[in-house]
Amino acid sequence: MSLIVHHLNNSRSQRLLWMLEELELPYEIRAYQRDPRTMLAPPELRQVHPLGKSPVLEDGRIKLVETGAICEYLVEKTGRLGPGDSGEGLRRYRQFLHYAEGSVMPMLLLMLAMGKVPLMGKIALKRIQPMVDVHLDYIEQELASRPWFAGKAISAADIMMSFPLEAAVSRAGLGSSRPATMAWLKKIHARPAYQRALEKGGEYDYA
Ligand SMILES: N[C@@H](CCC(=O)N[C@@H](CS)C(=O)NCC(=O)O)C(=O)O
């Protein structure tokens, strides 16, 4: 039975499409559009899962949310895109798999929210930017020392880190002053699986 991805336009669920394309697994997309005014997901997604967020992956009777957990599920299911080794690589793989949603995304969401608050939002953004820069500098240092987040090979940790770094280009000033990170972004965007995921996923403003 084919996997089903409940996919929201312009969202984190683009990562899951990329992962499935890398794994060459067959899947079906159920597409949802954000409300253009609120940017929230449509209420139909609540009928799929009580959180009403995307992505949701259905594998037969199994229904999964949280991209990181979904990635781990797919790594276990296929034996691919895992850490590659059981030492340092595994430690880094686990760390970045969680770091993407646990540390980087909350800062970027805060920036998005503050960017919409008139006057006081601008002041808040000035305070938040240095905190985000600590993360971007750390990531730059890591990517300057090896080709992929876990080590020598691409893994699910790279897939998890893609959305926060793409979002950081559009809203947190990530650019040419961090060449290793920008080269990593260029490298992932050039992958055939990434390109196929873009074609299938529709509107995505971050690539
Ligand atoms: N930590 C979750 C976040 C899920 C999430 O917040 N998804 C966003 C897409 S970027 C969403 O569905 N937003 C629509 C809404 O909140 O109504 C994950 O990584 O899957």
Q: Which atom of ligand 1 is nearest to the CA of 70?
A: 20
Reduced 3-state DSSP string for the chain: CCEEEEEECCCCCHHHHHHHHHHCCCEEEEEECCCCCCCCCCCHHHHHCCCCCCCEEEECCEEEECHHHHHHHHHHHHCCCCCCCCCHHHHHHHHHHHHHHHHHHHHHHHHHHHHCCCCHHHHHHHHHHHHHHHHHHHHHHHHHHCCCCCCCCCCHHHHHHHHHHHHHHHHCCCCCCCHHHHHHHHHHHCCHHHHHHHHHHCCCCCC
Domain check: are 72 and 105 in the same one?
no
Q: Which domain holds residue 60?
A: 3-81+193-201
When pLDDT is cut at 50, 70 and 90, the band that residue 84 belongs to is confident
Instruction: Judge whether 129 lies within some domain.
Output: yes
CB 58 within 8 A of CB 3: yes
- Kindly state the average pLDDT of the residues 118-133: 94
Domain check: are 115 and 172 in the same one?
yes
Q: What is the pLDDT of residue 2?
A: 87
Q: Which atom of ligand 1 is nearest to the CA of 40?
A: 17
CB 18 within 8 A of CB 42: no
Q: Could you tell me if the CB of 15 is within 6 A of ligand 1?
A: no
Domain check: are 115 and 148 in the same one?
yes
Domain check: are 38 and 60 in the same one?
yes
Q: Could you tell me if the CB of 40 is within 6 A of ligand 1?
A: yes
The domain that holds 12 is classified in CATH as 3.40.30.10
Give me the amino acid identity at 59: D
Instruction: Judge whether 134 lies within some domain.
Output: yes
Global pTM reads 0.97
Task: Determine what percent of the chain is predicted with pLDDT higher than 90.
Answer: 97
Q: Could you tell me if the CB of 11 is within 6 A of ligand 1?
A: yes
Nearest to 104 by CA among 69, 135, 126: 135
When pLDDT is cut at 50, 70 and 90, the band that residue 1 belongs to is low
- Kindly state the average pLDDT of the residues 83-89: 91
Q: What is the pLDDT of residue 36?
A: 93
pLDDT digits (tens, 9 = 90+) for 99-113: 999 999 999 999 999
Q: Could you tell me if the CB of 53 is within 6 A of ligand 1?
A: yes
Nearest residue (CA) to ligand 1, atom 11: 53
Q: Could you tell me if the CB of 8 is within 6 A of ligand 1?
A: yes
| Residue owning tokens 């990434």 | 194
Mutate which of 54, 104, 110 for ligand 1? The one with the most ligand atoms within 8 Å of its CB, which is 54
